Amino acid sequence: MPFQDLPARLAEVKAKIERARERGGRGQEVTIVAVTKTYGPDAATAAWDAGLRDVGENRVQEAAVKMTEVSAPVRWHLIGHVQRNKVKQLDDFHLVHSMDSGRLADALDEHGRARGRPMAVLLQVNVSGEGTKGGYEPANVEAEAERLAGMTGLLVRGVMTMAPFESDEATLRRVFAGARDVAARLRAAGLPATELSMGMSGDYEIAVEEGATLVRLGTVLFGARSA
């Protein structure tokens, strides 16, 4: 049976999340997004059977194939970069975590208006300033927030960020606090930005302490990736 140790792994992760939530003292609910990229459709089914309801994929094409092979009614999240010419393929996603530019925002807004239902998205912000990561710069958020607030085809539900790999605790906290600040600025502009997608298998406990409401977990749940 594939992923037979998932229930035990999940129980340990949930306990760590609860302790981190208590340490942080922010009172937020935390949703685990089980990241199933490279694992195959059976990982999404195993996640559902273990009690998880949210599954994350990095690539639109890979997710589209899995959606046809997974009968469990999981909520699919797109957590990887999306090209503007792929926005019409996003209708089956519960939430797009990676709205990383004004041009993509325009394309998502246009599609949301065309289909008659806003696209639920998170604004990806590059708090660390790494050149290899996409996302808005925090300094540009105010101007963009005003623009986004006028878009009827978008529902900006919060912020997503990624910390640099192998960061020390001080860097992690700076990045996660920066994302929390961006979300507050989006709310000040009138956007319903209550979600904070931050934290992965190596740093999710600190992310929860800093206010994460969505944590994106793969290897800590499913084991080492095969690809």
- The DSSP line for 103-130 is HHHHHHHHHHHHHTSPEEEEEEB-SS--
DSSP 84: G
pLDDT at 131: 78
Amino acid (one-letter) located at 205: E
pLDDT digits (tens, 9 = 90+) for 98-124: 999 999 999 999 999 999 999 999 999
* Mean pLDDT within 35-53: 96
Model-level pTM?
0.95
Each domain of the chain, given as residue ranges in start order, spans 6-222
Instruction: Name the one residue in this structure whose structure tokens are 């994460």.
Output: 212
What angle is formed at CA 117 by the lines to CA 115 and CA 121, rounded to 5 degrees?
110
Q: Does the pLDDT value for residue 1 go beyond 60? A: no
Averaged confidence pLDDT in the chain? 95
Looking at 7-125, which runs of residues are DSSP E strands? 31-35, 54-57, 75-78, 95-99, 119-124
In order of 33, 38, 159, the CA distances from 97 in angstroms are: 11, 19, 8
* Mean pLDDT within 125-130: 89
Is 6-222 a CATH 3.20.20.10 domain? yes
For residues 158 and 155, give the distance between their C-alpha atoms in angstroms, rounded to a whole number: 9
pLDDT at 92: 96
pLDDT range class, residue 227, cuts 50, 70, 90: low
* Mean pLDDT within 86-109: 97
Residue from 88, 90, 54, 87 nearest 70 by CA:
54
* Mean pLDDT within 21-27: 97
pLDDT at 106: 98
Q: Is 27 exposed, middle or buried (0-12, 13-18, 19+ CB in 10 A)?
A: exposed
Quote the percentage of the chain above a pLDDT of 70. Answer: 98
Greatest alpha-carbon pair distance for the chain in Å reads 51
pLDDT range class, residue 128, cuts 50, 70, 90: confident
pLDDT digits (tens, 9 = 90+) for 174-203: 999 999 999 999 999 999 999 999 999 999
Which three-class secondary structure state does DSSP give residue 95?
A: strand
